[in-house]
Amino acid sequence: MNVIELKQVSKTFHKGLLFKPVPILKDLNFTVKSGEFVVLRGENGAGKTTVLNLILGLIKPSQGEVNLMELPPHISESKVRVGVVLQDTQVPKNIKVKELIELVRSYYPNRLTTSEILSKVNLTYKQDTCATDLSGGQRQRLYFALALAGNPSLLILDEPTRNLDDQGYEEFWEQIKICRQQGITILMVTNNKADWKKLEGLVTRMVILQKLSEVIEGEQLQSHYYNPLASFIQEKPRLYLEWATVGFPYFLKPELLYGLEDESELEQPQQNIALILLKQFWFETLQLVRTPSFLLASASGVLLLPLFKYAGLVSENAVKPLVSLCAVFLFTIIIELLGNRVAVERAEGWLKLLKATPLPSSVYIATKIATLLTLASVILVLLFSVGIWQLEIHQSFEWWSKLFFTIIIGLIPFGLLFLGLGYWLEPKSASTWLTLMLVVAIFASGSMPIPNAPSYVQDLIAVSPFYHYQQLVSWIAEFDYDNQLFLHLLWMVWAASAFGLFASWSYQRDQVVQ
């Protein structure tokens, strides 16, 4: 069985303001069979990381076909038997080692226990430490632990020994030997000369990737086969003869060393989507709870309500200002929680690590929106409660309930919109652009009429989802509105669908992991 297969794959990146094409790979053919241990080497800039990103579905080929476990790699099911260590990834702040492992292991159907995973990389004593507080070597061991979490049959390792101390280095290679004894297929990228000695007796094939600009004739990828039995026979001839009589261990079968074994297709185990949803939502909520400054800022709107009373806005006169205040604070939460945070996750590499796992994109997006709605609900109840108390607003429970659910459900399309924008923006500029979007939203909702605005501006406002959202809230709150209820509902459904597709496409595009 070919666990990895690239057929006539080319990849061209477009860089600079003029999107100048820069070809990296051309007509590449590459396969890894079940049971092999393949090492991919090449100069910096040859495209080794690009090859791994293609294999994992993190980027798409410009031409050709890529399969992982006989499935397209962008499908989450293709990664349920795959463990990965990548470069340029980072874990979120304020999350403990044990919590991170529990999250990632939930993505896999054949997962190991948390204690087994920690024990394999000797991090049990660090399980309650924040992942970002680990040393460089300990963090590299954590990444290897995440790769082992799903009890993989294929490991894809990009410079896995980088930053490891002497003890961690030896422990890593002991685990690699155990993986080989279990018949786990390995694709490793390494230019560390210290690794070459360790690879003797383990590697079945060395693959050299040349820079495309240096390929004069022949293939860009050159394979060199090795026999791991050679050094073993020389060191332990008696044991070799015994095995030759009674049978070789799985990882030393001569036919497997050259990828000649014809295995039937492996059945892909099923993920527990409900468990993944629960764990991912728990993880997102945990990050919120551990950022109290953001929570306090989100709830700071209650401090403004006494000013309303001081200005004489009480009883029925306070309803509209209260709803407007709620809208401003809820959209501010959307900007920070979905826009800015996603931009940071993308820039720091956490999003890249998640995309290399079998976490379905729909689950990731759904839990982001669920986290938004949970926090928004808490803030809205708080603002309503203090508003009723301070501003002496007398409305029925039914009226408050209808207003609450209309405001909360109406946030979904805009949560998807700002989530999608977060994948496009850099962290340094995200706040500026997203705050500008908030200003645009205020005017586009029609809440603040633009004096002497030309007719085309009024037409643009009329087709804005912000305007239709404002009209729905006005209808529920019994403010003045334009009596086009069905049209507003239709536009909000359309906006949710369009922005959902936008968020999904933005999540999957190449630049998210570059």
What phi and psi, each to the nearest 5 degrees, are found at residue 218?
Answer: 85, -165
CB 117 within 8 A of CB 105: yes
243 falls within a domain: no
Taking 70 as the threshold, does the pLDDT of residue 99 lie above it? yes
- For residues 377 and 329, the answer to whether their CB atoms sit within 8 Å is no
Query: What is the model's pLDDT at position 125?
Result: 95
What span, in angstroms and rounded, lies between the C-alpha atoms of 28 and 11?
9
The per-residue pLDDT for 258 is 44
d(CA 138, CA 168): 8
Residue 252: pLDDT over 60: no
pLDDT of 70: 93
- pLDDT for 500: 96
Rounded to two decimals, the pTM is 0.88
* Interval 1-34: pLDDT, tens: 899 999 999 999 888 777 788 899 999 999 999 9
Q: Is the dihedral of CA 490, 493, 497, 503 positive or negative?
A: positive
Query: Picking from 56-70, 141-155, 171-185, 215-229, which range would have the lowest pLDDT averaged per residue?
Result: 215-229
Range of the domain at 339: 273-513
Q: Residue 426: inside a domain, yes or no?
A: yes
pLDDT of residue 415: 97
Please tell me the distance from the alpha carbon of residue 154 to that of residue 158, in angstroms, as a whole number: 13
Asked if the structure places residue 127 within a domain, the reply is: no
The pLDDT value recorded for residue 260 is 40
Domain membership of residue 307 (yes or no) is yes
Contact 184, 198 (CB under 8 A): no
pLDDT tens by residue, 125-163: 999 999 999 998 999 999 999 999 999 999 999 999 988
Does the structure show a pLDDT above 60 at 292? yes
Q: Is residue 265 part of a domain?
A: no
**Range name among 53-62, 63-72, 415-424, 446-455 with the lowest pLDDT average:** 446-455
pLDDT at 239: 52
3-state secondary structure of 472: helix
pLDDT at 75: 93
What is the structure's pLDDT at 264? Answer: 45
pLDDT tens, residue by residue, 186-208: 999 998 888 988 988 789 899 99
The total of structural domains in the chain comes to: 1
Strand residues in 373-486 grouped as ranges (E): none
Which of 235-239, 246-250, 292-296 ranks highest by mean pLDDT?
A: 292-296
